[in-house]
Amino acid sequence: MANKSYYFLNLGCPKNQTDGDNIRGALNGLGLTEAESPEIVDYIIVNTCAFIEDARLETQGEIRELEEYKKNGARLIAVGCYPALSDIRKDIPAVDAAFRFNQVEELLSYVSGDKIGCHSPDQINRVVEDLPYAYLVISDGCDNRCSYCSIPMIRGGYRSRPVMSILKEAEYLAKNGIKELVLVAQDTAIYGNDIQGKPDLACLCRMLAGVGGIEWLRIMYAHPAHLSEDLLDKLFAIDKVCRYLDMPIQHISPNMLSRMKRQCGPAKIKQLINHLRKIDNDISLRTTLMVGFPGEADDDFKALLDFIEETKFDHLGAFTYSPEANTAAEDLDNRVEPELAGERYEMLYDVAEDISSQKAEAQKGIRQKLLIERESLEGGGYMEARSYRQAPEIDGFYRIPEKRGMKIGQFIEALIKDVDQAEYEV
């Protein structure tokens, strides 16, 4: 495969992007060279997302932009979630070949022209970027069947990765300079329930905490239905588990949660948040919310706004409902007009932004342990760093004037000067 090259565009959530990093590693292992630009390559590979209509449209747009480079002889390949959900070659005929996220061997055979077998999913060859954090996928698929979600159709049922396989990857990442592991899955809270010995998330984190070089473990996507006070106690008793939790609740109105089939009512959500605050009042909480779900009345939305104002999540992501084919919610009545859903989204966003700013302001004057992540993309002699309160890529960072000897992956104690500025006295 010498002299063959490829350009790789990684779209979608961190889980999908981690699949993409594994594919890049496998391609490099075959002797292909990854190019930084799509202009003159043999293959243009797009790792696609298909989570909702907007994601599919974005994927289509990106592929259409890349289509023009086919004139230079490249073959255009789509991989990932989109081909798992529907026939992407019908939607975009310029795509020469499409492979689902679990068809890596088929992709490798296609680019090499040879039958490539025995590509073990446990073989670690992922490409590690020059950053001090990495996403660590602990399971795939989902059994929850929330009524609006097509992920189980795309990714299949829940499958925890064996502990040893996760540990092996964590060691590999640590050897490659990773200091922070960000644990991701469609639902991290139910980890281990389907495998021998039923090691739970806390058990996994205890073992990951023993991997030399790893200093921070961060838990994302913990479904509240599968969290318990006991699991939270065990998790936050582990020093290396950041006092941070991403717990997507989607809504707080009982009517909405039931129509969404979230298997978790408002009482449980409130109980978990109270318990988290008891463990540590400074725990940083992130959630995701959905507005405009069928049947969402003014009162339901008001209950959600009140709850957000009262709970003061540190970080919040929101989106408006869009109907997905073959999901239970597709046929629900009482659709919310798109304009009204948009207005609610804006209102929610304004409130959430206000709270996030207050929370960020409250950090001013505090000394925090920060992880230096990269040189500032704006340049000017600054570095970017995050505290335990900020997940990479989504929760912001602090800019710090660069000092001699400062390096990526270093932990420092810095004084928070402003919502996005910190200072480090050597």
Nearer to ligand SF4, 289 or 360 (CB): 289
Query: Can you say how many angstroms the Cα of residue 65 is from the centroid of all Cα atoms in its chain?
Result: 25
Nearer to ligand SF4, 84 or 355 (CB): 84
Pattern of binders to ligand SF4 over 218-237, x per CB under 6 A? Answer: -----x--------------
Nearer to ligand SF4, 59 or 139 (CB): 139
SS3 64: helix
Pattern of binders to ligand SF4 over 335-354, x per CB under 6 A? Answer: --------------------
Q: Amino acid letter at 109?
A: S
Residue 151 in the binding site for ligand SF4 (CB under 6 A): yes
Instruction: Please give the Cα distance from 109 to 101 (Å, whole number).
Output: 15
Residues 105-144 that bind ligand SF4 (CB under 6 A): 142, 144
Nearer to ligand SF4, 179 or 223 (CB): 223
For the bound state, the minimum distance from the C-beta of residue 152 to ligand SF4, rounded and expressed in Å, comes to: 5
How long, in residues, is the chain? 426
Closest Cα to residue 234, out of 212, 211, 206? 206
Nearer to ligand SF4, 253 or 363 (CB): 253
Nearer to ligand SF4, 95 or 154 (CB): 154
For the bound state, the minimum distance from the C-beta of residue 296 to ligand SF4, rounded and expressed in Å, comes to: 17
Residue 316 in the binding site for ligand SF4 (CB under 6 A): no
Distances (CA, A) of 68 to 37, 43, 63, 65, 73: 13, 13, 9, 7, 10
Which of 146, 211, 252, 412 lies at the binding interface for ligand SF4 (CB under 6 A)?
146
What is the rounded end-to-end Cα distance, in angstroms, of the chain?
A: 49
Total number of residues binding ligand SF4 (CB under 6 A)?
10
Instruction: Please give the Cα distance from 150 to 325 (Å, whole number).
Output: 8
Helix boundaries (H) for 176-265: 201-209, 229-236, 254-259
Closest Cα to residue 396, out of 408, 387, 405, 383? 387
SS3 84: helix
Count of helices and strands (H, E) across the chain: 13, 18
For the bound state, the minimum distance from the C-beta of residue 329 to ligand SF4, rounded and expressed in Å, comes to: 11
Residues 176-205 that bind ligand SF4 (CB under 6 A): 186-187
Nearer to ligand SF4, 139 or 311 (CB): 139
For the bound state, the minimum distance from the C-beta of residue 261 to ligand SF4, rounded and expressed in Å, comes to: 8
Nearer to ligand SF4, 92 or 264 (CB): 264
Structure tokens at 17: 């992007």
Instruction: Please give the Cα distance from 279 to 236 (Å, whole number).
Output: 8
Which of 63, 108, 137, 149 lies at the binding interface for ligand SF4 (CB under 6 A)?
149
For the bound state, the minimum distance from the C-beta of residue 84 to ligand SF4, rounded and expressed in Å, comes to: 14
Instruction: Please give the Cα distance from 398 to 370 (Å, whole number).
Output: 9
For the bound state, the minimum distance from the C-beta of residue 120 to ligand SF4, rounded and expressed in Å, comes to: 26
Query: Can you say how many angstroms the Cα of residue 252 is from the centroid of all Cα atoms in its chain?
Result: 22
SS3 296: coil
The residues of the shown chain that bind ligand SF4, judged by CB under 6 A, are 142, 144-146, 149, 151-152, 186-187, 223
